[in-house]
């Protein structure tokens, strides 16, 4: 039997050995209702960076609670066991697919979009609702991260899609597609090179996931790349604040001041 770390290493995605408490997930769900209410113009599948409790150029108007969720010690212990003790929080997103109309997410590798050098991130996907075949759970290709290479992504004609680019179908081995079915409160962790996607929500049940992105501090969040090489990303990441949640900045090149003070706090 493979252990937690071995599954992450070989498959690129592993389910956590525990669920979050009902009280915490209920609190997150309540925060999600408020987040959607406060951001009526943002599609609920693309609520970017609620963990940043200031208004930035692109993140959803949010509350400090999301930063607390992202700093949860139990979650950080899991992440530490996969990427080591020096952990930087640099991103998050709520992918909430409303019943019947929730959009799918095209096949992609997260790293295609991100200005991190060398490329490294562990994403924690928390199920705020059950995620299953009916409501568009995440799907992935086990082992697709192992080459540690980005495959080509093409532009998508649909301006309103969740992403602007997707992996060319010819580059996919669809026979290996695996569904990441999770109960409410369960969480999975995936690698930056993993090829994954999700289908639209055609069911009558909502499917919401809160994803938190952590990188080892041996990598650098490169704001110059963030500005000039945006690929399919709709916004500028050059002023995004990042947080060193555990350990030291091993690269000694990360900037933990940019983006933290120049914005006012919207709600406590």
Ligand X SMILES: O=C(O)CCC(=O)C(=O)O
Interactions with ligand X, residue window 31-90 (CB under 6 A): none
148 DSSP assignment: -
- The tokens for 96 are 């909430």
Q: Does the protein bind ligand X through residue 125 (CB under 6 A)?
A: yes
- Residue 261 C-beta: closest distance to ligand X, Å: 29
- Comparison of 1 and 204: residue with beta carbon closer to ligand X: 204
214 within 8 A of 121, measured Cβ to Cβ:
yes
Q: For the chain, what's the residue count?
A: 268
Q: What is the phi/psi pair of residue 254, to 5°? A: -80, 145
Q: What H or E segment, with its residue span, contains residue 6?
A: helix 4-11
Cβ-proximal residue to ligand X, closest one: 198
User: 10 Å Cβ neighbour count for 139?
Assistant: 20
- Comparison of 98 and 247: residue with beta carbon closer to ligand X: 98
- Residue 129 C-beta: closest distance to ligand X, Å: 11
The binder of ligand X chosen from 95, 107, 113, 140 (CB under 6 A): 95
The binder of ligand X chosen from 110, 129, 186, 191 (CB under 6 A): 110
Q: Does the protein bind ligand X through residue 191 (CB under 6 A)?
A: no
The binder of ligand X chosen from 12, 106, 209, 226 (CB under 6 A): 209
Which of 81, 94, 163 is closest to 122 using CA atoms?
81
Q: Does the protein bind ligand X through residue 124 (CB under 6 A)?
A: no
For the chain, the maximum distance between any two Cα atoms, rounded to a whole number of angstroms, is 50
Radius of gyration over every alpha carbon of the chain, rounded to an integer in angstroms? 17
Which residue has 């963990």 as its token pair? 51
Interactions with ligand X, residue window 130-169 (CB under 6 A): 138
Q: What H or E segment, with its residue span, contains residue 94?
A: strand 87-97
By rule CB under 6 A, what count of residues binds ligand X? Answer: 10
Q: Does the protein bind ligand X through residue 198 (CB under 6 A)?
A: yes
Q: Does the protein bind ligand X through residue 129 (CB under 6 A)?
A: no
Q: Kindly list the residues in this chain that would bind ligand X in the complex (CB under 6 A).
A: 95, 105, 110, 123, 125, 138, 196, 198, 209, 211
């Amino acid at each position: 039997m493979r252990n937690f770390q071995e599954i992450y290493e070989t498959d690129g995605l592993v389910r956590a050995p525990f669920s979050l408490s009902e009280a915490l997930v209920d609190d997150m769900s309540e925060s999600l209702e408020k987040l959607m209410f406060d951001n009526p113009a943002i599609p609920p599948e693309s609520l970017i960076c609620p963990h940043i409790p200031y208004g930035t150029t692109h993140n959803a108007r949010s509350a400090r609670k999301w930063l607390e969720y992202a700093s949860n010690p139990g979650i950080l212990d899991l992440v530490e066991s996969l990427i080591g003790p020096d952990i930087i929080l640099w991103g998050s997103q709520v992918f909430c697919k409303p019943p019947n109309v929730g959009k799918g997410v095209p096949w992609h590798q997260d790293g295609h979009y991100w200005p991190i050098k060398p490329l490294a991130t562990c994403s924690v996907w928390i199920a705020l609702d059950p995620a299953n075949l009916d409501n568009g759970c995440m799907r992935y290709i086990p082992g697709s991260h192992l080459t540690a290479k980005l495959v080509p992504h093409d532009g998508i004609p649909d301006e309103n899609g969740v992403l602007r680019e997707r992996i060319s179908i010819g580059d996919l081995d669809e026979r290996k597609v695996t569904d990441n079915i999770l109960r409410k409160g369960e969480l999975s962790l995936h690698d930056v090179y993993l090829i994954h996607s999700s289908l639209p929500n055609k069911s009558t049940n909502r499917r919401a996931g809160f994803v938190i992105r952590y990188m080892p501090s041996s990598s650098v969040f490169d704001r110059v790349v963030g500005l000039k090489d945006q690929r399919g990303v709709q916004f500028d990441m050059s002023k995004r604040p990042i947080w060193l949640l555990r350990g030291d900045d091993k690269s000694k090149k990360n900037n933990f001041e940019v983006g933290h003070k120049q914005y006012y706090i919207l709600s406590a």
